[in-house]
Amino acid sequence: MKRRKVDLKALPGKTAQEVDTRLPVATPLRGMLNKVFPDHWSFLLGEIALFSFIILLLTGTFLALFFEPSLQEVHYDGSYLPLQGVGMSRAYETALDLSFDVRGGLIMRQMHHWAALLFMAAIVVHMFRIFMTGAFRKPRELNWIIGLSMFWLGFTEGFAGYSLPDDALSGTGLRIASAIMLSIPVIGSWVTTSLFGGEFPGEIILSRLYILHVFLLPLILLALVSIHLGLVFVQKHTQWPGPGRTNKNVVGERFVPRYVIKQGGFFMLVFAVIALMGGLFQINPIWLFGPYEAAVVSAGSQPDWYVMFLDGSTRLMPAWDIRVLGYNIPPLFWPTVVLPGILSVLPMAYPWIERRWKKDYESHNLLQRPRDVPDRTGLAAMALAFYLVLTISGGNDIVADKFHISLNAMTWAGRIGILILPPLAYYFARRLSLGLQQHDREVLAHGVETGIIKRLPDGRFVEVHQPLVAPDEHGHTDLPYVGWTVPKKMNRLGALGPAVRGFFRPIEQPAPPQQEEQPREEVTSGKP
């Protein structure tokens, strides 16, 4: 039998043709390959969240192979000796088994936890970037809302995961969560008993949190992530202003190859950081906390960092109990239900609030530097100050303990700080923005400060400025302010030669100084 010759070189082309006859992809595929993406480090913050999410799905699937969300009472007989024979729930037992009796289980658990913390951190930082640069403006309001929703979904997802191992910390967190639900007016007790299947803790709550944690919330998150990225793709990424960049174009690199390669490399680096942290830095050592018992708690019980701001708001809340006609609204309701409600609705409405405030109804594809929108930057600083005061207050017992401050003083500092610091932050951030803007304008009008002080014949001292372009007869340059980086140092203008290469020591000879003797103007005191 004669073997048919296969032309290997023609194979890819032939396959491509076969595919295209069935599914005409040539045109859309090329459009995707050629899609232009702008590049800037600040555009990579959201990617960190995306990559952490992928790692969460991978490690989480591994954990689910071994974990059992059951509150059934068992006696531990795994390899961790100190807990031998201790009564605990099956959930806590399987979480211990994951840490001690599953090969590589501990690193997966720790990677999962670190990835969750990184996921939330990346979301928060990314959100600040979007806010401060005005990337939420028309036409991207919908994506801003989706992003905010993902923060709260991630928050809930993280809390559910934190509650699953049924160790002392997760049980305490869950008990507080039940108290928060109880505090809702009118329906609180019904919501709590319905969710817990009776009184706290009941027997069913972990199964319910589990299906929420491994199926419902990840599914919703995955859908929202897809829409989020799809919208970025369709609406095209925003870009910074700069040479050749307008509201009507995108300047950058084509999607394939460079952009994709950089994304792939960055994913691997994020993965690497999470693997290193998961292996080297211990997190949530549940075997030290012991199983959850309603009567046991330790000092310094802290939630994961992204929950701490609500813990802080709860600690700072004054003891105000509203009682009317035999009914009451507990103080827990305001900082844990009303505050998160405001914190989710207000930012979602912000794009429209700013539209009316600044009377700007246009579409924007160019980003703004924070300094160019002082009011918004002020608001961001205000939000950040508010958030930081709450987060620090969430750990005020630790601060009090480590720095030997009275705990009550810490609480009062938080209560006063939450009122005073945000407005102060607004004021300073706004002034700072205006100052930076002013300095940019000065450079555009007069040039870069050279650091050379010149004495004039009449005795005045002035600093010599290097204009960016040839000045007019008054020494002024008339450059437009475009909201992009202005050179502030002489070496940015190429005034200094390239630095001598070498990291630890010079690996090349410095260029010999220019021998040309320039006739220099003699500087005198001005006196005859």
The footprint of another protein on residues 302-331 (CB under 8 A) is 311, 314-321, 323, 326-331
Selected from 40, 90, 262, 446, the binder of another protein by CB under 8 A is: 262
Q: Is 430 within 8 Å of 365 (Cβ atoms)?
A: no
Of 146, 225, 297, 486, which lies in the binding site for another protein, with binding defined by CB under 8 A? 297
Q: Which is nearer to another protein, 346 or 407 (CB)?
A: 407
Q: Which residue in the set 1, 6, 8, 299 belongs to the binding site for another protein (CB under 8 A)?
A: 299
- 249 is a contact residue toward another protein (CB under 8 A): yes
Q: Examine residue 75 and tell whether it contacts another protein (CB under 8 A).
A: no
Q: Write out the H or E segment, with its range, that includes residue 384.
A: helix 374-394
Map tokens 């407005």 to a residue: 423
Tell me, residue by residue from 1 to 30, as one string, x for binding to another protein by CB under 8 A and - for no binding.
Answer: -----------------------------x
241 versus 331: smaller Cβ distance to another protein: 331
Closest CA to 373 of 422, 423, 429: 429
- The full DSSP string for 390-436 is HHHHHTHHHHHHHHT--HHHHHHHHHHHHHHHHHHHHHHHHHHHHHH
Q: From the list 235, 344, 450, 477, which residue makes contact with another protein (rule: CB under 8 A)? A: 235
For position 298 contacting another protein by CB under 8 A, the verdict is yes
* CB of residue 158 to another protein, shortest distance in Å: 18
* Residue 338 sits in the site that holds another protein (CB under 8 A): no
Which helix (H) or strand (E) element contains residue 45? Answer: helix 45-64
Binding another protein (rule: CB under 8 A), the pick from 13, 24, 197, 526 is 197
**Judged by CB under 8 A, does residue 205 bind another protein?**
no
Radius of gyration of the chain (CA): 30
Task: Say which residue the tokens 């010599």 belong to.
Answer: 464
Minimum Å distance from CB 118 to another protein?
Answer: 14
* 85 near another protein (CB under 8 A): no
Query: Is residue 345 a contact residue for another protein (CB under 8 A)?
Result: no
- Closest contact distance (angstroms) between CB of 245 and another protein is 9
E strands present in 38-189 = 73-75, 87-89
Identify which range of 115-123, 129-137, 275-283, 460-468 contacts another protein by CB under 8 A. Answer: 275-283
**With respect to another protein, which residue has the nearer C-beta, 286 or 443?**
286
Cα 80 from chain centroid? Answer: 37
Residue 466's φ and ψ, nearest 5 degrees, are: -100, 105
- Measured CA distances, 232 to 120, 121, 136, 197, 222 (Å): 20, 21, 12, 42, 15
Give, as ranges, the residues between 100 and 129 that touch another protein (CB under 8 A): 100-101, 103-104, 106-107, 110
Q: Which residues within the stretch 142-161 sit at the binding site for another protein (CB under 8 A)?
A: none
Q: Report, in Å, the least distance between residue 126 CB and another protein.
A: 20
What character string, x for contact with another protein (CB under 8 A) and - otherwise, covers 382-421? --------------xx---------xx--x----------
195 binds another protein, rule: CB under 8 A: yes
Nearest approach, Cβ of residue 76 and another protein (Å): 13
Instruction: Output the six-digit token pair for 68.
Output: 């059992």
Kindly tell me which of 195 and 384 has the beta carbon lying closer to another protein: 195
Q: Does 250 bind another protein (CB under 8 A)?
A: yes
CB of 422 closer than 8 Å to CB of 385 = yes
Residue 214 CB, shortest distance to another protein, in Å, is 19
Where does residue 175 rank: exposed (0-12), middle (13-18), buried (19+ CB within 10 A)?
middle
CB of 194 to another protein, least distance (A): 5
Nearest CA among 230, 268, 261, 279 for reference residue 54: 268
Strand partners, 73: 89
Q: Report, in Å, the least distance between residue 450 CB and another protein.
A: 30
Among 15, 72, 79, 226, binds another protein (CB under 8 A): 79
Q: How many residues bind another protein (CB under 8 A)?
A: 109
Residue type, 172: T
Identify the CA nearest to 237 among candidates 103, 118, 364: 364
Span of 145-153, 270-278, 373-381, 516-524 interacting with another protein by CB under 8 A: 270-278
Question: Which residue of 34, 61, 226, 485 would you call a contact of another protein, by CB under 8 A?
Answer: 34
Question: Could you write out the DSSP letters of every residue in 118-152?
Answer: HHHHHHHHHHHHHHHHTTTSTT-HHHHHHHHHHHH
According to CB under 8 A, which residues from 434 to 473 bind another protein?
Answer: none
HSE at residue 409, side-chain half, CA atoms within 13 A, is: 7
Using a 10 angstrom Cβ sphere, with 0-12 exposed, 13-18 middle and 19 or more buried, the burial of residue 128 is middle
Question: Taking the complex as a whole, how short is the minimal distance between the CB of residue 333 and another protein, in angstroms?
Answer: 9
Neighbours of 113 (CB within 10 A): 22
d(CA 235, CA 37): 11
Site for another protein in 467-526 (CB under 8 A): none
